[in-house]
Each structure stands twice: as structure tokens, then as C-alpha cells.
Structure 1
Amino acid sequence: MIVAPAAERNKDPILNVIKHLIGPGAPAVALELASGSGQHTVHFAHSLPNVVWQPSEVEERSLESISAYIAATRVENVKQPLNIDCSQSWETWGGLKQNFFDLIVNINMIHITEIKCTEGLFKGAGQLLKPNALLITYGPYAVNGVITPQSNIDFDLSLRKRNPGWGLRDVSILQKFAEESGLIFKRMVDMPANNKCLIFQKRSSV
């Protein structure tokens, strides 16, 4: 199993945001895109037994880690991970059904992938979420063209040196992708370590 220190630090703050959005009683189905090690999925599943979680990843090592976490923790409300590449059309995402999910979660992916992955994330969410259902993204962002504090500026520069297609995305770009995909930007929640949760909601059916 992969142990990601950042996931250990942020899993409870992100869980608290999710708990405010999804009640503890009603059954729900959630998709985590880019689940990484699997630490988030099993942690969320333990605290929200009313939610069935579908993790996903594109890297084989991460897919194996997710399955190992599911086995080690014996959670019963987490499905085996799907191999999903967000840069590809949602139709390639393991046969997932349109208008099926109550929640989609994406943690620390947007700044370490090409912009095509971010655009694909929003296009997929627009198809897979039920009307009025939610997309939550977590990570560091630029706001109105400004990155703060200095540690995030330095982080952005280091990412762009590693790969010119990476880097902190401006919230305005994500809002544009959301609008194009039938989602509305609801609010931004400040999180520890200079990160944020962005909450989007799919429009109601016309």
C-alpha cells in the first residue's frame, strides 16, 4: 500500500466538507476521480457508511494500492477501482452511467496534470452527475490571476519546471469549464496548508 503523507493530513478536513454537503442518512453513490493511494476513499467510506464509493486511477501502482487498502480495511461500501484517464472521453470510463452519481470528488489532481485532464474532469462530471448533484475539487489554486502565499508561488514554479503543462489553475478557468459542462460554481472553502475546496453543482434538468 502506498502511504501518502499529504493524504493523511488532508483526509479529515476534506471529509468535514463532504459531511456538510451529504447527510448521514440518505443512500448516495460517489465517484472519486484520481484516487491516488486509496487512503481518501477508505477513510471517507468508514465515516459515511450510507455512501457507496467508486475509486479510480490511471496508474497501475495506484490501482493496486487502492485494492490493497480496500482489503486491509475491509470496507464494504467501496467498489474495486476503475482504470480511468480523465484526459479521455467519459464514455471510456468503465461503462459508468449518465446521471448516476450524487457526488464526484477530485483531490490534488488538477495542478499535476495537463489542462486536458481538467477539462475532461468537468465534461465527465457534467454527464455522470445527477441533476443538482455535486462536484468537489481540492488543491491549491490561483484566484483572479493571483497565487498566494509565496509557498504556493514557489510550488507553481517548481511544477512548471517539471512539466510546462502543469501548474496551479485559476478558479476562473475552472468556472469556465464548469459552465460549459452544465455545472454552476457554488462556493470556495478555505482549507489548511493554503489549499481550497471548490464546490460545483450540476444544473437541474430543464
Structure 2
Amino acid sequence: MEVPAAAERNKGPILAVLRECAGRGAGRGALRVLEVAAGSGLHAAHFARALPHTLWQPSDIDPRALRSISAYVEATGVPNLLPPILLDVSQGWEMWGGTQPATLDLLVSINMMHIAELRCTEPYAVNGQISPQSNVDFDRSLRQSNPAWGLRDTALLRELAETNGLRLERMVDMPANNKSLIFRKL
């Protein structure tokens, strides 16, 4: 079970945002949640335990991450935390191993957008502006590693979301100059 320092540090603030989003469904049966790029599985285990009215489905494309997630599932024994599935979001949803978007109540993606090609679509550029300097430096280092990576502009994400039947409901400021973007179905 991997325990990334950033995941440990951010689990509380992210849970606060998720409580607002997932709390709306409490009392009407289990909310189906798909966590894309669940990484170590630390967040999945923490969120599933804290949100017992959810059915939490972690996923990842990395075999190492899938092993870590499986270890969390086994070690925690949280009944609403499902075994991880292999998921490549660069493929159309038809290839998502039977997971249909229409069956989901919530899709969660943490720390993936900036290390994925835009077609798969943390800290974000807001209306073309990246700040503070630490995020400018982070964006530069990501793009040096892979030109398809980098901080995404919220205006572009809003446009892409609308094209796909979603609207940007709100942006929530998070610790360490990060943001949570909340999209809803139109």
C-alpha cells in the first residue's frame, strides 16, 4: 500500500468538497462513484469509509497503482469500496469495461488532468493565467517532460464540458494553490 505524502495531506480538503457533492444523494440509495486514476488507493479507501452511502469504484491504468489499490481494498475491508478496475480514459467510454457514464452519479478525478493528454480530459490556469510562480514552474516542468502535459485552462475545460453535456458549476480553492472543479450534467 503506497502512502503518497500529497494524498495524505490533501485527503481532508478533498473529502470536504466530496461531502458537498455526494451528500446530496444520501438517503436515496448508494451513489455510484467512479474514481479515475485512483493512484495509490489511499483516497479511495478514505473517501469510501467517510461516505458509506457511496459505492466507490477505483480505477487506474498503471499495474503498480492497481496493486496498491487492491491492497487498500483488502486491508481496510470497507464494504462499499470495490476492487479496482483497469481503465484507460484515453479510450472511448465504450471501452471502460462495462462502466457506463449514465450509470454513474459521480466521477472523481484527482491529480490526473495535468499529466494526461487533453483528449483524456489540480492546479489550473484560470482564464489563461497561471499563478503563483510555483504553478508556472510546475507547468513548465510538466511540458518539458511531455509536451502533451501541463496545467489546463479552466475556460477550455468549461468549453469541452459544455460540448459533452456538462456545465462547470463551481471552482473551489484548495490548499497549495490547487482547485477542485465541479461539473454537473446539463
User: Please, what TM-score do these two structures have when normalized by structure 1?
Assistant: 0.86
Shift of 1:150: 0.5
- Give the corresponding residue for 1:188: 171
Structure 2 unmatched runs, 5+? none
What count of residue pairs does the alignment treat as equivalent? 183
Are 1:115 and 2:147 matched, yes or no? no
The residue number in structure 2 matching 1:17 is 17
Question: Deviation at 1:98?
Answer: 4.3
Shift of 1:6: 0.8
Aligned counterparts of 2:112 and 2:74: Cα–Cα separation in 1: 25
Cα deviation digits, residues 108-154 of structure 1 (max 9, x gap): 00001111211xxxxxxxxxxxxxxxxxxxx1000011001000001
- Matched ranges for 1:72-87 at <5 A: 72-87=75-90
Give 1:102-141 correspondences, 5 Å limit. Answer: 102-118=105-121, 139-141=122-124
Distance 1:22 1:112 in 2: 26
Q: Runs ≥4 in structure 1, deviation > 3 angstroms?
A: none
Q: Which residue of the partner structure matches residue 159 of structure 2? A: 176
For 2:112, the aligned partner's letter is: M
Equivalent of 1:26 in 21, 25, 28: 28
Q: Take 1:98 and 1:178, find their aligned partners in 2: how far apart are those partners?
A: 14
Structure 1: 5+ residue runs without aligned partners? 119-138
Q: What's the CA shift for 1:186?
A: 0.6
Aligned equivalents of 1:140, 1:178: Cα separation in 2: 18
Q: CA deviation at 1:73?
A: 0.9
Q: Secondary structure, in 3 states, of the residue corresponding to 1:193?
A: coil
- Are the aligned partners of 2:35 and 2:109 in contact in 1 as well (CA < 8 Å)? yes
Deviation at 1:29, TM superposition (A): 1.1
Between Structure 1 and Structure 2, the one with more strand by share is 1
What is the rounded CA distance, in whole Å, between the counterparts of 1:98 and 1:186 in structure 2? 19
Secondary structure of 1:32 counterpart: strand
CA distance in 2, matches of 1:87, 1:97: 15
SS of the residue 1:42 aligns to: helix
Counterpart for residue 132 of structure 2: 149
Q: 1:139-179: CA deviations, max 9, x gaps?
A: 10000110010000011111111111110010011111101
Partner of 1:126: none
Root mean square deviation, CA, Å: 1.0
Partner of 1:2: 2
What is the alpha-carbon distance in structure 2 between the residues aligned to residue 173 and residue 85 of structure 1? 22
